[in-house]
Structure 1
């Protein structure tokens, strides 16, 4: 399993809200992601983006995709200086998927969806991309996303039994398709493992490493997978991925440990062996150096966090019943 597939599998993505917005000029909407990530696709006509990370408003052409991380506020509008209303006033949990807003001018269509996920599992992915990134879809990715949007539209319109379930799964698919499109696009990309997957030689090494983290990897072993000399491989890896090969290996071992600590009851010794350490003491030293806390403490914190969430959900359910 490559790192992208591993993260998507661990993230447990769930759709929290989806809407297709039919907007007539003049219009302007302010989006705040809160605790969620947001996906936006400009499917017809163009619009302007305003965000604190931009010096000036940016025009987004049809076929533009946006991926926005939690706790980001941004505006979309028909003209750069348009007044805006909060998205929450247009789209609520009762929204059936289609919303019309604005005047009788030029028509723009935007698809927007919010997603919840395991933040710890998603950390390597969202650390590698900007808080807000917009990029054009190439022909292949545009066709896939358009097909998924068409299916969502058909399910929403038909209203058959189980359509809500199907739409949720399709929107989750849409999110993965957008992330995949981003990984193959150079827009906003810095040196990171996503860039490494785009290099044919480094991708072979990355796939091999992730398939067998327990192996006692050396830089020579990694270079052999890439078909390069040790020095050439080390230099290429550092320039593309942004860190030395063994530092990269350590980072992903710690990530796998986090997932095993939170998702299983395996002993620390067993987890250490699964990710390439001879004993739990060696693992603990590396884990604490990387995270600032011991692995046992990490497991306790994550279990407590889960308990708090369950208690909160129970209280909410009781309030709804009452």
Structure 2
């Protein structure tokens, strides 16, 4: 699986932080029934649970998302993500009375067909996340992330999605691991595309990566999350005064520097408890807590469960039952 050409506007430091973040996000992913349509049509979809992703494999249509000011024209080769729990409509003519997606996809066929199909098709699925912190990482994304077919990341995204769909439909050895990695690849490509666009992200780590000084502080945190970081040390890494750094970090990332550090530590701890055999005390030390009691209190405050409970719970596989369509 190839990678896009050089990304001249994104430093290696930023990409290291991006790799770090995406590497901690283990999504539960499901593949939707595809859509094959023809003629004039319009379909209304209920709000998805999680991040919805689709690739248009043939034809063109319009996408309208509830609460967004204008519809988006999508064409063959385009990819789009819907990052909020908001209903949406797809169609050649959005003024038509929409069909219900539940009705269109009620038949036991894949892809679902409208007007016998043949002129338009898409495939896609959905990401959900196994922890609240992982889901919060994507709150800074726009409601719709549209990657046009001629953008550098689009071919990689399409190939990853095609293989992702293939792995989901056939129960082959290693399919779960491959599915998780492909899901992460698709997320990385979407973030790369958005970082290189002219669109300004909402406050969050994504905007932080695009800020030269704040990205230095993020890189410092991610390089050694177990260290006893202070506001002075992080402002020094960013090359700013303490007061200016504190204001700018909050404006750009949406939380104070030490609040971001705490959230990142909790995500690392959550994943460590789920994926390793380490004891709670070892996990606590690995994310900068000398006291297991203090760690447990912080963990419960963020996750609403104790570290021990989180460790005992088993995660679901990457390919869940098909629960959403298109």
TM-score normalised by the chain length of structure 2: 0.71
Matched, 1:227 2:239: yes
Matched, 1:8 2:22: yes
Give 2:204's match in structure 1, choosing from 161, 169, 192.
192
Answer yes or no: is 1:249 the counterpart of 2:261.
yes
RCO higher in structure (CA 8 A, sep ≥6): 2
1:212 aligns with 2:227: no
Aligned to 2:5: none
Q: What is the match of residue 101 of structure 2?
A: 86
CA contact (8 A) 1:11 1:117 kept: yes
Are 1:58 and 2:71 an aligned pair?
yes
**Cα RMSD over matched residues?**
4.2
Q: Distance in 2 between matches of 1:270 and 1:51?
A: 45
Distance 1:264 1:210 in 2: 20
Residues 171 and 304 of structure 1: CA distance in aligned 2, closer, same or farther (over 3 Å): closer
> In the alignment, which residue of structure 1 is the partner of 2:89?
75
Partner of 1:306: 314
Correspondence list, 1:125-136, <5 A: 125-129=137-141, 132-136=143-147
Runs (4+) of structure 1 exceeding 6 A deviation are 91-94, 149-153, 159-164
| Secondary structure at 1:126 match in 2 | coil
Distance 1:39 1:241 in 2: 25
Q: Classify the secondary structure of the residue corresponding to 2:23.
A: helix
More helix by share: 1
| Of 104, 112, 117, the match for 2:124 | 112
Q: Structure 2 CA distance, aligned partners of 1:136 and 1:256? A: 30
CA distance in 2, matches of 1:123, 1:240: 19
- Structure 2 CA distance for aligned equivalents of residues 177 and 14 of structure 1: 18
Residue 212 of structure 1, CA deviation: 0.5
What SS is found at the alignment partner of 2:152? helix
- Mind listing any 5+ residue stretches in structure 1 that lack a counterpart? 317-322
Contact map agreement 1:33 1:68 (CA 8 A) in 2: no
Structure 1, residues 3-41: CA drift from partner, whole Å, max 9, x if none?
543443333335421565443221223334654532023
Task: Tell me by how many angstroms 1:200 deviates.
Answer: 2.7
Cα separation, 2, equivalents of 1:74 and 1:151: 26
Q: Is the 8 A contact 1:7 1:121 kept in 2?
A: no
Matches within 5 A, 1:112-191: 112-120=124-132, 122-129=134-141, 132-137=143-148, 139-146=151-158, 148=160, 172=183, 173-185=185-197, 187=199, 189-191=201-203
**Structure 2 unaligned spans of 5+:** 1-14, 322-326
Deviations 1:192-234 (A, max 9, x none): 1111111233223212211211111122322332333434433
- Residue 139 of structure 1 aligns to a residue in which SS? coil
Secondary structure in 1 matching 2:284: helix
Count of residues in Structure 1 that have an aligned counterpart in Structure 2: 299
TM value normalised by structure 1: 0.71
